[in-house]
Amino acid sequence: MAGSNPSTNGAIIVGVDGSRSSEHAIVWAAEEARLQHRSLTLVHAEQRMSANEMAWLSSTGIAPRQVNEQIHADAEQVVTRARALAAAHCPEESIDTVLEVQDARSLLLELGGMAAMTVVGTRGHGRVVGLLLGSVSGALVRHATSPVVVARAVPSPRRGVLIAADGSEESLGLVEHAYREASLHRTPLTVVHCLWDGLVAPTPWVDVSRNDPEGEQARLRVAQSTAGMREKFPEVDMIVRVTRGAVDACLVDLSADHDLLVIGRPPRPLLHRLTTSGLTLPVAEHAHCPVLVVP
């Protein structure tokens, strides 16, 4: 198992670390791999001791080699348990494993560049437990070059897939991702167009009534722009919902009633990408359901 390095080209990969959050990611990824008829690759990054930690252990009379051997044995157990969990949701023969001594963020970003999708939990066994998103999931949401899912437990089926779109040509690729997920999971699709308004009170956002001319124009624009998708995925029931207010608050609130939220990460220059996350990271942090981030 250790050192195995299967091809992840076109696979769905999932980061595993033995945490409860990781288990949610494994189940979600395994179900997705089964529905998409793709292979599933379980990825675990083994964390070895630093030179300072090994020096300290030696000073106390503890052999660092023995500790590293135990760390490796524990890592193999994590992968073994993850494989058993995944096998309960997708064919055993489609499951591969990767166990490497490497930083988890670097490993998943590297492998994810060739994968169809990377799935991670909200946070794992990291040292900074106060973050809404762990360092691994946060790094993938910011920098991955292929779609990333931040998985959360959904206690029961809800209202299907949720996406925000404005009817522009640039949003059609994102809309197609949402339609495909709705088709795979045989669930409805809700397309939300939120009209920005910073003065909505007393709540951050409200639904726009049918008597609002601006709202009706927005609803018609979204419906017209998605007509081709409705022909491509006729089995998907799609509704358009127009709201007014803050789009991030709207999506976070509505995610509580849905199985999956699909959001985009707009292309940005590298320096800007390192200094700001726009709406993508905050929504991924606070959403109540799994979030699919499409670069």
Are 128 and 180 contained in the same domain?
no
Q: Please name the residues in contact with 44: beta carbons below 8 A apart, sequence gap of 6 or more.
A: 15, 16, 17, 75, 78, 79, 82, 97, 98, 99, 100
Q: What angle do CA 225, 206, 166 make, to 5 degrees?
A: 15
- Please give the pLDDT value at position 201: 62
Are 22 and 147 contained in the same domain?
yes
- Please give the pLDDT value at position 158: 86
Q: Greatest CA span in the chain, whole angstroms? A: 78
Are 279 and 197 contained in the same domain?
yes
Report the CATH number at residue 190: 3.40.50.12370
Are 147 and 252 contained in the same domain?
no
69 domain residue, yes or no: yes
Q: Which of 151, 175, 191 is the last residue of a domain?
A: 151
What is the pLDDT tens value at each position of the chain, 295 positions in all? 444 567 788 999 999 999 999 999 999 999 999 999 999 999 999 876 666 766 666 677 676 677 778 888 999 999 999 999 999 999 998 999 999 999 999 999 999 999 999 999 987 544 433 344 678 999 999 999 999 999 998 877 789 999 998 888 888 889 999 999 999 999 999 999 999 877 766 688 999 988 899 999 999 999 999 999 999 999 999 999 999 999 999 999 999 999 999 999 876 544 444 433 468 888 999 999 999 999 8
Are 143 and 180 contained in the same domain?
no
- Please give the pLDDT value at position 5: 60
Domain that holds residue 53: 12-151
Would you say 289 and 158 are in contact if contact means Cβ atoms under 8 Å apart? yes
Q: How many CA atoms lie within 13 A of 202 on its CB side?
A: 0
> For the chain, how many structural domains are there in total?
2
- Please give the pLDDT value at position 58: 66
- Please give the pLDDT value at position 267: 64
Report the CATH number at residue 82: 3.40.50.620
- Please give the pLDDT value at position 106: 93
295 domain residue, yes or no: no
103 domain residue, yes or no: yes
Are 87 and 165 contained in the same domain?
no
86 domain residue, yes or no: yes
Q: Which of 98, 129, 151 is the last residue of a domain?
A: 151
Residue given tokens 């088709």 in the structure block? 183
- Please give the pLDDT value at position 8: 81
- Please give the pLDDT value at position 190: 96
Are 95 and 166 contained in the same domain?
no
